[in-house]
Amino acid sequence: MFCASKHIFGRLAPLRATSALPVASSTRPSFFSPRNLRILSQSRQFASVKDLYYQAQKPASSPAEHVKIVEVGPRDGLQNEKVIVPLATKLGLIERLSSTGLRVIEAGSFVAPKWVPQMADSSSILAHLSKHPPQLPTAAHKISYPFLVPNTKGLDAALANPTARPSEIAIFASASEGFSQRNLNCSIEESLARFAPVVSRALDAGVPVRGYISMVIACPYSGPTPPEAVVDVALKLLDMGCYEISLGDTTGVGTPHTVDVLIKALLAAGVPVEKLACHFHDTYGQAIVNCMVGLANGVRVFDSSVAGLGGCPYAKGATGNVSTEDLVYFIHSVGMDTGVDLQRLAEVGAWISDSIGRKNNSKVGPALLAKRPEPATKAEDPASS
Span 261-300, pLDDT tens digits: 999 999 999 999 999 999 999 999 999 999 999 999 999 9
**Identity of the residue numbered 129:** L
pTM for this one? 0.83
Alpha-carbon span 121 to 129, nearest angstrom = 13
Alpha-carbon span 32 to 35, nearest angstrom = 8
Residue 19 has pLDDT above 70, yes or no: no
Alpha-carbon span 253 to 267, nearest angstrom = 21
* Selection from 306, 262, 320 nearest residue 100 by Cα: 306
Q: Identify whether the C-beta of residue 224 lies closer than 8 Å to the C-beta of residue 215.
A: no
Q: Identify whether the C-beta of residue 201 lies closer than 8 Å to the C-beta of residue 242.
A: no
Pairing of strands 218-219, 223-224: antiparallel
* Residues contacting residue 127 through CB under 8 Å, at least 6 positions apart: 161, 164
**Identity of the residue numbered 53:** Y
* Residues contacting residue 55 through CB under 8 Å, at least 6 positions apart: 65, 334, 335, 336
Q: Identify whether the C-beta of residue 348 lies closer than 8 Å to the C-beta of residue 77.
A: no
Pairing of strands 223-224, 169-174: unpaired
Residue 13 has pLDDT above 80, yes or no: no
Residue 128 has pLDDT above 70, yes or no: yes
Q: Identify whether the C-beta of residue 230 lies closer than 8 Å to the C-beta of residue 276.
A: no
DSSP state of 239: H
DSSP state of 171: E
User: 314: pLDDT confidence band, cut at 50, 70 and 90?
Assistant: low
φ/ψ region of 28 (left if φ > 0, alpha if ψ in -120 to 50, else beta) reads alpha
Q: What is the pLDDT of residues 194-235, one digit of tens each?
A: 999 999 999 999 999 999 999 999 999 999 999 999 999 999
User: 51: pLDDT confidence band, cut at 50, 70 and 90?
Assistant: low
Taking residues 110-123, report their average pLDDT: 95
Lowest mean pLDDT among 169-178, 213-222, 248-257, 313-322: 313-322
For 88, counting Cβ atoms within 10 Å of its Cβ (0-12 exposed, 13-18 middle, 19+ buried), the class is: exposed
DSSP state of 23: -
Average pLDDT over all residues of the chain: 85
Alpha-carbon span 351 to 357, nearest angstrom = 10
* Selection from 327, 267, 336 nearest residue 303 by Cα: 327
DSSP state of 86: P
The domains located in the chain, with CATH, are: 68-358 (3.20.20.70)
**Identity of the residue numbered 43:** S
By annotation, the residues acting in catalysis are 312
Alpha-carbon span 210 to 279, nearest angstrom = 13
φ/ψ region of 88 (left if φ > 0, alpha if ψ in -120 to 50, else beta) reads alpha
Alpha-carbon span 190 to 382, nearest angstrom = 79
Residue 119 has pLDDT above 80, yes or no: yes
Alpha-carbon span 329 to 266, nearest angstrom = 27
Exposure b/e, 60-71, CB count within 10 A at least 16 = b: eeeebeebebbb
Check residue 135 and give its pLDDT.
78
Residues in the chain: 385
Pairing of strands 108-109, 147-148: parallel
Q: What is the dihedral of CA 253, 258, 263, 268, to 10 degrees?
A: -150
Alpha-carbon span 122 to 357, nearest angstrom = 22
User: 317: pLDDT confidence band, cut at 50, 70 and 90?
Assistant: low
CA angle (8, 327, 237) in 5-degree steps = 105
Check residue 320 and give its pLDDT.
83
* Selection from 191, 181, 113, 117 nearest residue 152 by Cα: 191
Percent of the chain with pLDDT over 70: 78
